[in-house]
Amino acid sequence: AQSVSQHNHHVILSEAASLELGCNYSYGGTVNLFWYVQYPGQHLQLLLKYFSGDPLVKGIKGFEAEFIKSKFSFNLRKPSVQWSDTAEYFCAVKPSNTGKLIFGQGTTLQVKP
């Protein structure tokens, strides 16, 4: 079955530290990849997405992610986090033959000021 795995469940960082959140998926075919953020009390918002082309994708708020097809990975990165980045982060995969989004378990990021 298709699945998405986020390795880090809870990450605590100090401001200005670098961030990398892991995401791996299991699906042999073509996929679209997404990272969403959910700030406390708010709805899910799209950070970035990959459909095709350059595997290094830049999103909003200084986030980027790299699609490594051979590793079935789509890790999220940010060189310097801010306190306002405290939120829940979800990786999601959409197999190309369906409209369904399959979500990872989510990673809670806590940034200490």
Partner 1 sequence: GAVVSQHPSWVICKSGTSVKIECRSLDFQATTMFWYRQFPKQSLMLMATSNEGSKATYEQGVEKDKFLINHASLTLSTLTVTSAHPEDSSFYICSAQGENGYTFGSGTRLTVV
Q: Which of 67, 74, 89, 90 binds partner 1 (CB under 8 A)?
A: 90
CA–CA distance, 14 with 82 (Å, rounded to integer): 8
Any contact of residue 100 with partner 1 (CB under 8 A)?
yes
CB distance 27 to 2 below 8 Å = yes
CA–CA distance, 83 with 15 (Å, rounded to integer): 6
CB distance 51 to 68 below 8 Å = no
Any contact of residue 68 with partner 1 (CB under 8 A)?
no
Query: 31 or 102, CB closer to partner 1?
Result: 102
Total residues contacting partner 1 (rule CB under 8 A)? 20
Residues of this chain that interact with partner 1 (CB under 8 A) are 4, 9, 34, 36, 42-46, 49, 90, 99-106, 108
